Structure 1
Amino acid sequence: MLRAFFIWHDLIGRIWYDERIFILTTIHRKGGIMDQALFKQLAFVREVTLQLVQNVSEQEADVVPDGFNNNIRWNLGHIYLVQEVFAFARAGEIPKIPDGFVEWFNMGTKPADWEQAPPSLEELSGLLREQIKRIEETFMNRLQERSAQPMAIRTLNLETVEEFLTFSLYHEGTHTQVIKSIKRLIQHS
């Protein structure tokens, strides 16, 4: 949304405020206001996710309610795995994917198929918390870089680091809502 404001502002600004748009564009491209806004949003969304599972027990994290394929633990691991791919692998960086994560948490996997014990909630929470710090440290001043591996999702083309990170906000929000639903079902059963 903030990006849309700057695009709109850029169009209006070209007519009325040429110098001001140059300054805003310069700040945007050199790791200023826009970078900070995106990193703050990533941190905020991640904190919401982590607070949501703060009082979830290991047993509750493994409940797969009727109508669901996955549990809270799977959703947390999936958020982490996809963010590693979107943030790091797609940008040409080396992702930090622990052993077993692809088998446990990749799209199309489910806890019913797990053959080994997955990571604890404490491990997953630690990885998720640390991940946001690594993203900011790695990509500050690099959001406009072209991705090493662009990707299309339906009609949406993701071509820059910023576009992948922005899309990851939607992805994490979707899975956070699933976690909320599962948690609500567990608490009311």
Structure 2
Amino acid sequence: METNLFDQMANIRRQTLEVMEGVTEELADRIPDGFRNNIRWHLGHVYTATEFLALSGLKLPMILPEGFIERFASGTSPLDDKAKSVPLPTLSQLGSLLKEQTERIREALPSSRLNESIPAITTSTGLDLLTPEQALRYNLYHEGLHFAIIPVYKKLLSR
């Protein structure tokens, strides 16, 4: 079961990295009319949420560069004053972080700990995640949502 879960994570992450292709720094920062976030935010949010969902419940060390919580946590936006006061990662930096994250999490989270009880992580839809495995499975859905938004933004911003 562990291999399948981490293989699924790697497959979805590969797709996220592929959808970044062709995105320029300028395009990454444009916000489509009627929205609050941009492509860079979605990529940073995927990284930040994955760190939190995968590692926080077991109190394993997270790698969150300076400003990632202020810029990319749920409910934030590049339009927020607080987000403007912290460093902005380049697309290259985000790509590198996203690329190494899945394997690092696989190594940090042994299969023997996937079903340990953790303090409930409650999602924005009210779902309580009670084990690292539940959190990782939810993360597959979560990353898929944000992955799907990026091509839509690319299309909207190319008009």
Counterpart mapping for 1:129-148 below 5 A: 129-141=99-111, 142-147=113-118
- Post-superposition offset of 1:151: 2.2
Give the 3 Å change call, closer, same or farther, for CA 152–106 of structure 1 in structure 2: closer
TM-score normalised by length of structure 2: 0.91
Is 2:93 the counterpart of 1:126? no
Instruction: Determine if contact 2:116/2:131 at 8 Å carries over to the other structure.
Output: yes
- Deviations 1:41-79, CA, capped at 9 Å, x for gaps: 000001100100122111110110101100000000011
Amino acid at match of 2:14: E
Query: Post-superposition shift, 1:86?
Result: 0.5
Q: CA deviation at 1:183?
A: 1.0
Query: Equivalent residue of 2:79, what SS?
Result: helix
The 5 Å alignment of 1:2-151 reads: 34-113=1-80, 114-141=84-111, 142-147=113-118, 149-151=119-121
Q: Distance in 2 between matches of 1:144 and 1:96?
A: 23
Matched residue of 1:111: which SS? coil
Structure 1 residue 109 displacement after superposition? 1.5
Equivalent residue pairs, number? 154
**SS of residue in 1 equivalent to 2:144:** helix
Sequence identity percentage: 41
Cα shift readout 1:9-36 (whole Å, capped 9, x = no counterpart): xxxxxxxxxxxxxxxxxxxxxxxxx101
Aligned partners of 2:149 and 2:103: how far apart in 1? 24
> Residue in 2 aligned with 1:160?
131
SS at match of 1:59: helix
> CA shift at 1:117, angstroms?
4.4
**CA shift in 2, pair 1:103/1:155, >3 Å:** closer
Question: Is the Cα–Cα contact under 8 Å of residues 67 and 87 in structure 2 kept in the other structure?
Answer: no
After superposition, give the CA deviation of every residue in 1:113-139 in whole Å (9 maximum; x if it has no partner). 223441000000111111101111111
Q: Counterpart of 2:11 in structure 1: which amino acid?
A: F
Q: Which amino acid aligns with 2:64?
A: I
TM-score normalised according to structure 1 size: 0.77
Residue type of the partner of 1:86? L
Gaps spanning 5+ residues in structure 2: where? none
Deviation, structure 1 residue 140: 2.9
